[in-house]
Amino acid sequence: KGINPLQKSVLLPTQSLINSKFTFPVIIGKRMAESLKLSIGDEVLIRWRDKNGTYDANRITIVDIFDSNVPAIDSGQIWMSIETLWQMTGLNNHASFFVAENSYHHNPIEFWKFNSQEELLKPISDLVAEKNSVQSVLYFLLLTIALLAIFDTQVLSVFRRQSEIGTYIALGMTRQKVIGIFTFEGSLYSFLALILATFYGLPLLAWFAEIGLVVPPADQKMGIPIAETIFPIFGLKLVFGTIFLVLFASTIVSFLPTRKISRLDPILALKGKKQ
């Protein structure tokens, strides 16, 4: 690959190609250097074919090694000055693609196709969307287990506290108020869980947001553009949305078992007999 050594659009150490004492200075990526066991200063024999189809060969020198999480510019890629590449191939003033800066405003250019950042990142976006769907299933299963525990607790509470419920009704409390008490009591479990989770969850999430999650080296060699350390972002929408969903679902699940209270006979309930 040929590149202008003075460019500032991409984060490559192309300045190392300027005023080099070597005839064919090049830079390569860290993963390619590891796979070929190359280091700075090593010489490699390279063969190429010019515009007429004639083969030629010469020695290139590694003057710098960069670290990037984009496999397309690392794996199997050798970067040199575009002027040197033109001289080698005879394809003067030719280019395969341009790299636009963030401030670039596209105007149609003949024979050139413009690909926006969204189009180039579509495979990654699709992969993230697929992972989100899988995580949603896991999130739903964990939430279901938690709600099932609250449901069982409420069923046991209504069953074992029939005498108490009968006393409330006998003293003149309406069934709707008794249902409201037990529903509110069940919803307090989620509030208690929220308070307890805040004490250990907030420092833990803040710690992960500060130091990030280290990606194993094996995953970085799969050809997926991913950084060595991933920093999670916890937005207010995600945090408060999750809290509201858990509280709302807990309240609904707490209400379902208490519907039996509306069918209780106060006399039998006071005696502790089953309905």
Model confidence over 198-216: pLDDT tens digits?
888 888 888 888 888 877 6
The pTM is what?
0.58
State CA 141 to chain mean position distance: 20
Cβ neighbourhood burial of 64 (10 Å; 0-12, 13-18, 19+): middle
> Region 156-161: what's the mean pLDDT?
76
Residue 241, pLDDT above cutoff 90 = no
Q: What is the pLDDT of residues 95-139, one digit of tens each?
A: 888 888 778 888 888 888 888 888 888 887 888 788 877 888 888
Taking the C-alpha atoms of residue 177 and residue 183, their distance in angstroms, rounded to an integer, is 10
79/28 Cα distance (integer angstroms)? 6
- Interstrand relation of 229-230 and 25-29 (parallel, antiparallel or unpaired): unpaired
